[in-house]
């Protein structure tokens, strides 16, 4: 609906980067409003000045809360025009009314008139004429910029950020080089390309080719790879061009001539890749060999293990004992294992034996996310942190400040858990900070879904046959009979006949709506939110994370914070959607809001993160998260939504990851044949990396 009125009071300051604001708006139309004839609006506006008149297209969210779809400065009425005149030196109320009488109540008409002729004969007009016209031109430029760029498909937030970066001349910057300007606001290549055509640039311009060349490698890395064959690169490039502003193909000879001028891209042995990523993988290879080649002899004996077993009151499994003996001769040990095979018990035993032989030794435990490190700490009884906290990482240009080759960790034994989640960059940053003589044990489940970032570090190390590997493949006595553990085994073996009991509920429904109703019936919304977690394979659709989170949220009230389409309040669970090592959170971290202010404070176990009003794009509600985001987490009960689509997300690894998040109970809601499709789908994508090649060359 279209509404008019004026901004009364900001409840959230306008984000200087994306233009987002929340404010009370005195509305002239007869719509649902509060007792002051005001509505609460949220969204992007060109200017956030109390009193400014606006015309907005809005959608009602709840009661008198409205989301802004479009907004522009409104000057078509006498009252709105008075707003632009009130702060100009030399214009009194009498003068303002006189000017508006001559302009039929619309001050913006001055922009289309001969101002010399208009002001001729008006006393003292020289005092305010120039400042008035400057203000009107600025408003008009901002308005026309938004209108033009919105028609080109840009988002309000992108326009606002460009206006800030280029000091009000976003269009000038885009006309000159839309590829470089668009890069500053995370604009995808297709959008940049349509802007280039709109502003008359050549389809064969070098800047276009460079932007497309880099985009192809980004697409490849988003699939987990760190390199791509020349044939695959050309195929991806042509696919990108087919969806671009100019669908006409580009000569491969010309493309590679341009690629040869891009310092960030390398071509070698029939592959293309980012130089930085290649060097990171090579450094991983070098550092692991450096650490591995330092001899270690701890002197752990079978008698030491038996004495520990006697004190603990149980006998370690043979595979666990093998890990302890391996610590005597190997500085790098890989320990893959599925849930229930005693990984936590093994880690605790390894630390104890190490400390017995080296009482003054410093032991560090870490994991890629706050949730994973918290689980590690709770399960083992030893302190644990995130990898980035351990390294004290702070982004600096294209690198990070913190622990590195010149300022290494003080650590004698390092244990890293959830290695399947660790990508190339974070593992490189970790290894360069590990001193000679430090023993490292890398733990994880290779059957979990792989890292969000590119690389396949843990799988590459396991396949290299270079390092001592102790596979935990025996189930602990107390876990062997668990239907959760048994069903994980069945899933990975492709057996759809899962065990249904009090610990493992399986519901089959004929529609997404029916599955959703069942979920809402069983989910204990008012209990401790960190004990229970709903997982969905997808963000989109009727049972995706977006719809389900909105369904579960409570209506907004005076104590809540509204951002985009979500209502946040103290006690709500949120998930971080990007890495910010300086602030102290990682993509996938789940925490609880402890306080609402201009932004919010979020508890991540032992750590607290404060988000300002400009940081709220970093989070989403987490009553429901994707299976990918759940990696590294553990919950008492897990509620898994398994829709039939998209089928690309119905794989054994994804279902195994979801089910293995639960300690006590799994509630599985399947739609039609989604379970059988999922269990039968062995499709897996082997990521193409340089790291695997470096180790193959050694063998």
Query: What tokens appear for 127 in the block?
Result: 């005092």
* Confidence grade of residue 90 (pLDDT, cut at 50, 70, 90): confident
User: Is the separation of the CB atoms in 573 and 621 below 8 Å?
Assistant: yes
Coil vs helix vs strand at 632: coil
The per-residue pLDDT for 495 is: 92
How many residues are recorded in the chain?
Answer: 699
| Cβ neighbour number for residue 410 with a 10 Å cutoff | 9
> What is the C-alpha to C-alpha distance for residues 249 and 237, in angstroms, rounded to an integer?
10
* Confidence grade of residue 61 (pLDDT, cut at 50, 70, 90): confident
* Confidence grade of residue 141 (pLDDT, cut at 50, 70, 90): confident
> What is the C-alpha to C-alpha distance for residues 68 and 52, in angstroms, rounded to an integer?
16
Q: What does pLDDT average to over the chain?
A: 88
Among residues of the chain, what percentage have pLDDT more than 90? 50
Residues 181-275, CATH architecture: Orthogonal Bundle (1.10)
**At residue 161, does pLDDT exceed 60?**
yes
Question: Which regions of the chain carry the CATH code 1.10.10?
Answer: 181-275
Q: Is 295-469 a domain of CATH 3.90.600.10?
A: no
Query: What single DSSP character describes residue 580?
Result: B
The per-residue pLDDT for 287 is: 96
Residue 646, preceding peptide bond in cis (omega within 30° of 0): yes
* Confidence grade of residue 47 (pLDDT, cut at 50, 70, 90): confident
* Confidence grade of residue 665 (pLDDT, cut at 50, 70, 90): very high
User: Is the separation of the CB atoms in 369 and 589 below 8 Å?
Assistant: yes
> What is the C-alpha to C-alpha distance for residues 483 and 472, in angstroms, rounded to an integer?
19
> What is the C-alpha to C-alpha distance for residues 216 and 232, in angstroms, rounded to an integer?
10
Query: What tokens appear for 461 in the block?
Result: 């190390």
Of the candidate ranges 271-280, 315-324, 431-440, 557-566, the one whose mean pLDDT is the lowest: 557-566
**At residue 297, does pLDDT exceed 70?**
yes
Domain covering 2-145 in this structure, CATH number: 2.40.50.140
Laid out side by side, the sheet with 504-509 consists of: 504-509, 662-671, 635-642, 532-536, 624-626
**Regarding predicted confidence, which is higher, 44 or 9?**
9
Dihedrals φ, ψ of 414, to 5°?
A: -120, 125
The per-residue pLDDT for 477 is: 45
Contacts of residue 331, defined as CB under 8 A and 6 or more positions apart, other chains included, come to: 291, 292, 293, 294, 295, 296, 437, 438, 439, 440
**At residue 602, does pLDDT exceed 50?**
yes
> What is the C-alpha to C-alpha distance for residues 295 and 103, in angstroms, rounded to an integer?
88
Of the candidate ranges 139-153, 196-210, 327-341, the one whose mean pLDDT is the lowest: 139-153
**At residue 685, does pLDDT exceed 70?**
no
* Confidence grade of residue 14 (pLDDT, cut at 50, 70, 90): confident
**At residue 398, does pLDDT exceed 70?**
no
Of the candidate ranges 152-161, 221-230, 426-435, 531-540, the one whose mean pLDDT is the lowest: 152-161
**Residue found under tokens 């040990």:** 333
**At residue 587, does pLDDT exceed 90?**
no
**Regarding predicted confidence, which is higher, 88 or 235?**
235
Dihedrals φ, ψ of 377, to 5°?
A: -65, -45
**Regarding predicted confidence, which is higher, 578 or 481?**
578
Q: Say whether pTM exceeds 0.95.
A: no
**At residue 72, does pLDDT exceed 70?**
yes
**At residue 631, does pLDDT exceed 70?**
yes
- Average pLDDT in the 382-400 region? 82
> What is the C-alpha to C-alpha distance for residues 181 and 172, in angstroms, rounded to an integer?
10
Question: Which regions of the chain carry the CATH code 2.40.50.140?
Answer: 2-145
Query: What tokens appear for 401 in the block?
Result: 């400040």
Question: Which regions of the chain carry the CATH code 3.40.50.300?
Answer: 295-469, 483-680
The per-residue pLDDT for 396 is: 67
User: Which CATH number applies to 483-680: 3.30.70.2860, 3.90.1640.10, 3.40.50.300, 2.60.120.200?
Assistant: 3.40.50.300
Q: Which of 336, 338, 334 is CA-nearest to residue 656?
A: 338
């Amino acid at each position: 609906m279209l509404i008019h009125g004026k901004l009364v009071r900001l409840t959230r300051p306008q984000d200087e980067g994306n233009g987002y604001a929340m404010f009370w708006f005195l509305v002239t139309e007869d719509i649902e409003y509060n007792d002051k004839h005001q509505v609460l609006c949220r969204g992007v506006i060109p200017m956030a000045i109390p009193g400014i008149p606006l015309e907005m297209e809005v959608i009602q969210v709840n009661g008198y809360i409205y989301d802004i779809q479009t907004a522009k400065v409104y000057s078509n009425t006498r009252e709105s025009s008075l707003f632009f005149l009130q702060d100009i030196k030399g214009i009194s109320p009498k003068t303002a009314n006189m000017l508006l009488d001559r302009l039929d109540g619309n001050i913006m008409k001055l922009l289309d008139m001969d101002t010399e002729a208009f002001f001729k004969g008006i006393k003292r007009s020289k005092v305010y004429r120039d400042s008035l016209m400057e203000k009107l031109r600025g408003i008009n430029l901002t308005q026309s910029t938004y209108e033009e760029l919105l028609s080109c498909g840009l988002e309000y937030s992108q326009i606002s950020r460009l206006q800030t970066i280029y000091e009000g001349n976003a269009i000038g910057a885009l006309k000159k080089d839309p590829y470089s300007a668009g890069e500053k606001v995370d604009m995808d290549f297709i959008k940049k390309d349509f802007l280039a055509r709109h502003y008359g640039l050549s389809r064969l311009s070098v800047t276009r080719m460079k932007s497309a060349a880099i985009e192809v490698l980004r697409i490849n890395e988003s699939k987990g790879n760190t390199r791509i064959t020349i044939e695959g690169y050309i195929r991806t490039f042509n696919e990108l061009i087919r969806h671009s502003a100019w669908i006409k193909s580009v000569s491969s000879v010309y493309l590679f001539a341009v690629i040869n001028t891009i310092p960030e891209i390398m071509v070698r042995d029939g592959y293309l890749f980012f130089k930085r990523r290649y060097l990171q993988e090579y450094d991983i290879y070098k550092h692991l060999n450096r650490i591995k080649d330092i001899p270690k002899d701890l002197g752990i004996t079978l008698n030491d293990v038996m004495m520990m077993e006697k004190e603990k009151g149980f006998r370690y499994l043979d595979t666990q004992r093998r890990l302890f003996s391996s610590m005597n001769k190997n500085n790098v040990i890989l320990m893959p294992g599925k849930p229930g095979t005693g990984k936590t018990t093994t880690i605790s035993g390894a630390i104890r034996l190490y400390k017995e032989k080296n009482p003054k030794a410093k032991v560090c435990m870490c994991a890629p996310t706050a949730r994973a490190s918290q689980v590690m700490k709770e399960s083992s009884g030893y302190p644990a942190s995130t990898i980035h906290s351990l390294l004290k990482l702070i982004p600096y240009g294209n690198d990070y400040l913190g622990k590195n080759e010149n300022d290494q960790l003080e650590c004698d034994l390092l244990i890293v858990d959830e290695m399947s989640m660790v990508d190339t960059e974070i593992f490189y940053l970790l290894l360069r900070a590990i001193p000679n003589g430090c023993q490292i044990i890398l733990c994880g489940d290779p059957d979990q879904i792989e890292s969000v970032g590119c690389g396949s570090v843990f799988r590459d190390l396991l396949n290299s046959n270079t390092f001592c590997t102790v596979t935990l493949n025996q189930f602990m006595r107390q876990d062997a009979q668990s239907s959760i553990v048994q069903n994980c085994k069945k899933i990975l073996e492709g057996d759809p006949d899962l065990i249904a009991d009090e610990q493992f509920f399986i519901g089959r429904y004929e529609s997404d709506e029916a599955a959703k109703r069942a979920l809402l019936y069983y989910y204990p919304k008012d209990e401790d939110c960190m004990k229970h977690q709903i997982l969905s394979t997808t963000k989109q659709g009727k049972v995706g994370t977006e719809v389900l989170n909105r369904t579960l949220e409570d209506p907004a009230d005076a104590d809540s914070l509204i951002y985009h389409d979500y209502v946040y309040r103290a006690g709500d669970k949120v998930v971080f959607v990007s890495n910010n090592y300086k602030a102290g959170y990682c993509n996938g971290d789940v925490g609880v809001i402890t306080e609402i202010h201009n932004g919010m404070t979020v508890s991540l176990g032992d750590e607290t993160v404060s988000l300002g009003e400009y940081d709220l794009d970093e989070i989403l509600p987490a009553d429901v998260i994707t299976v990918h985001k759940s990696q590294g987490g553990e919950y008492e009960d897990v509620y898994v939504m398994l829709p039939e689509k998209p089928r690309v997300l119905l794989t054994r690894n994804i279902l195994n990851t979801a089910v293995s998040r639960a300690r006590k109970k799994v509630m599985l809601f399947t739609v039609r044949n989604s379970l059988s499709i999922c269990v039968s789908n062995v499709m897996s994508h082997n990521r193409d990396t340089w790291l695997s090649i470096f180790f193959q060359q050694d063998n």
